[in-house]
Amino acid sequence: MTPRSRLPFYIAVFLLIAAGISLAIWRHIELGIPWFAGEQRPVWMIEARVDFDAENGPVLASLNVPENPPGFRILSEQAASPGYGFSIIEKNGSRRAEWTKRDVSGRQTLYFKTQFIPDESAINRPPNPEPKARRTFWEEPQATAVREVLAQAKERSSTPESMTRELIRLMQPDARTQNTTLLVAEENYLDLLVDMLNHSGIPARTADGLKLEDARRRQSLMPFLQIFNGEQWLTFDPNTADQGVPESLLLWRQGSASLLDVVGGDNSEVSFSMLRQTVPALQLATMEFDSNGLGFLSFYELPIEEQSMFRMLLLLPLGALMVAFMRIVIGIRTSGTFMPVLIAVAFVQTTLVPGLIAFLSVVSIGLMMRGYLSSLNLLLVSRISALIILVIFITAGLSIIGYQMGFNTGMTVTFFPMVIIAWTIERMSILWEEEGAHEVLIQGAGSMFVAISAYLLMSAPLAGHLTFNFPELHLVILGLILLMGQYTGYKLSELKRFTPMKVYD
């Protein structure tokens, strides 16, 4: 009989551990679940406020809302407007929030709140269908001026981007020639730029941006220029020709649609307030589960009650790992294999010191009572059953006495599994009769030590966070336990036990 090769086993364990870790890393990157419990992420809360005077009749207010502004992800949207019907409508490539009401009069205020997460990786999908440049008809003498200015800009450029930059420079006040002065009137500067760029064959449009500063109110939008270079829309500052979106700038409106339309009202205006919030990264990740459909991988989909149960359940493997380690590698003797884990779980609910006091007092009172039971000559099953009832009496008594004396610790006794306590008492009692008090002390202390170690491991905030949010890490724990099951080396306690062998070496 040849010993089986252990290589497949080690490969399997390695695969388990690798699978667990890589799944966790993938979910961390993909879903943004943080490694640590307390991580915070900045979130911009932007509130658009629409004011108008209603004209005693039906009202339709429609506000352009951001779709996917470069550099940001939308986390949530909500509208606050009493008595209005509200919906978000996709219309030819732009999203609009629409408020409707049958009969309105007086000054009206509508709010639209959005939360944005700064996200460098937020990609702009290429627009569909591809934008086309539209030719504009110019009257003379503007037509000649436009032709000349465009020719000048074309001369000095090679790409749509450089062409745009050159054109903006030519139109600046300090660089103006006769041609440009003829064209530019202050109020129509940006529209003129857009028309000219379109005329030269480059699709162009305007965009409105918000400068993000914490706790600012009554901000208005700043105009920007966007051109299409064949792949994506690029943003330019129409006054300085700077390309790209500054970090603290959020493009609220992109495209040719109007920002605000109010039918049935006048004197309409829109203004923005903003606030920088820090939200726990975890909350962010879970909020996004709902939106991107990856939620089925997490426990957050479950009802809260089940969630809290799973929080406890998922800590158990850690306790099991601790017990395996303590018994296989350290060699601590415990009373019952997994009694320490169950006690540790109870400690997690009661916190350590009150739990320890409660547990030890129940067990010691129970041991005294068990001494009387053993003289009654009962069958084992009925003895255990009687013991369970006694244990319940003891816990009830401790709770009531503790409560009357003003301790809340008495109440925590109820978290302990009664049957386990009863069995522990039974085992300890038999051990006492057979092996003496010394062995009871050794095994009792060993069990308590393992239980407290398991508790310390399970009650660490990081442990609770990782086990619940990265359930796949349990594969790693499983792999470690399997590895320990193959450990054939000496236990720490055996180094002590075999000490007398020194003589024979």
Partner 1 sequence: MDWISPRKLNRLGMLNMNRRNVDYIARYNERSSYPLVDNKLKTKLAVAEYGVRTPRLLQVVRQQHEISGFRQMAEDLGGFAIKPAKGSGGKGITVITGRDNDEYVKASGTRITAASLERHLTNILAGLYSLAGTPDVAIVESLVESVPTLARYSFQGVPDIRIVVFRGYPVMAMLRLATKASDGKANLHQGAVGVGLDIGTGRSLNAVQFNKPITLHPDTGLALENIEIEAWGEMLEMASRCYESTGLGYMGVDLVVDAHEGPLLLELNARPGLAIQMANGRGLLPRLRTIERLKRPHFTPQERASYAMEVFAAL
Query: Which residue ranges make up the site for partner 1 (CB under 8 A)?
Result: 1, 3, 328, 331, 377, 379-381, 430, 434-435, 485-491, 494-505
Q: How far is the CB of 426 from partner 1 (least distance, A)?
A: 9
Q: What is the DSSP string of 192-253?
A: HHHHHHHHTT--EEEEEEEE--TTEEEE--EEEEEEE-SSSEEEE-TTT--BS--TTEEEEE
Q: How far is the CB of 325 from partner 1 (least distance, A)?
A: 12
Closer Cβ to partner 1, 133 or 329, answer by number? 329
Q: How far is the CB of 490 from partner 1 (least distance, A)?
A: 5
Q: How far is the CB of 383 from partner 1 (least distance, A)?
A: 8
Q: How far is the CB of 299 from partner 1 (least distance, A)?
A: 35
How many of the other CB atoms lie within 10 Å of CB of 287? Answer: 16
Closer Cβ to partner 1, 91 or 497, answer by number? 497
Closer Cβ to partner 1, 82 or 500, answer by number? 500
Run of H or E residues at 287: helix 281-292
Closer Cβ to partner 1, 393 or 498, answer by number? 498
Give the strands of the sheet with 204-211, arranged side by side: 233-236, 222-228, 204-211, 249-254
User: At CA 183, angle to CA 178 and CA 189, rounded to 5?
Assistant: 125
Closer Cβ to partner 1, 279 or 328, answer by number? 328
Closer Cβ to partner 1, 38 or 485, answer by number? 485
Instruction: Compute φ and ψ for 222, nearest 5 degrees.
Output: -110, 135
Gyration radius of the chain's alpha carbons? 36
Cis bond upstream, residue 118 (ω within 30): no
Q: Are 10 and 244 in contact (CB under 8 A)?
A: no
Closer Cβ to partner 1, 185 or 503, answer by number? 503
Task: Report helix angle 316-325 to 437-459, nearest 10.
Answer: 130
Euclidean distance between CA atoms 121 and 454, whole angstroms = 41
Cα dihedral 419/425/431/433 (nearest 10): -130
Q: Are 47 and 112 in contact (CB under 8 A)?
A: yes
Q: How far is the CB of 2 from partner 1 (least distance, A)?
A: 10
Q: Which residue(s) pair with 76 in the sheet? A: 115
DSSP tag of 265: E
Q: How far is the CB of 288 from partner 1 (least distance, A)?
A: 47
User: At CA 302, angle to CA 298 and CA 303, rounded to 5?
Assistant: 150
Closer Cβ to partner 1, 184 or 329, answer by number? 329
Instruction: Compute φ and ψ for 137, nearest 5 degrees.
Output: -95, 120
φ/ψ bin of 246: left (φ > 0), alpha (ψ from -120 to 50), beta (otherwise): beta
Structure tokens at 265: 């009202």
Q: How far is the CB of 4 from partner 1 (least distance, A)?
A: 8
Closer Cβ to partner 1, 6 or 217, answer by number? 6
User: In angstroms, how far apart are the furthest CA atoms of the chain?
Assistant: 120
Closer Cβ to partner 1, 206 or 385, answer by number? 385
Cα dihedral 174/175/180/184 (nearest 10): -30
Closer Cβ to partner 1, 288 or 426, answer by number? 426
Q: How far is the CB of 482 from partner 1 (least distance, A)?
A: 12
Instruction: Compute φ and ψ for 191, nearest 5 degrees.
Output: -60, -40
Q: How far is the CB of 357 from partner 1 (least distance, A)?
A: 30
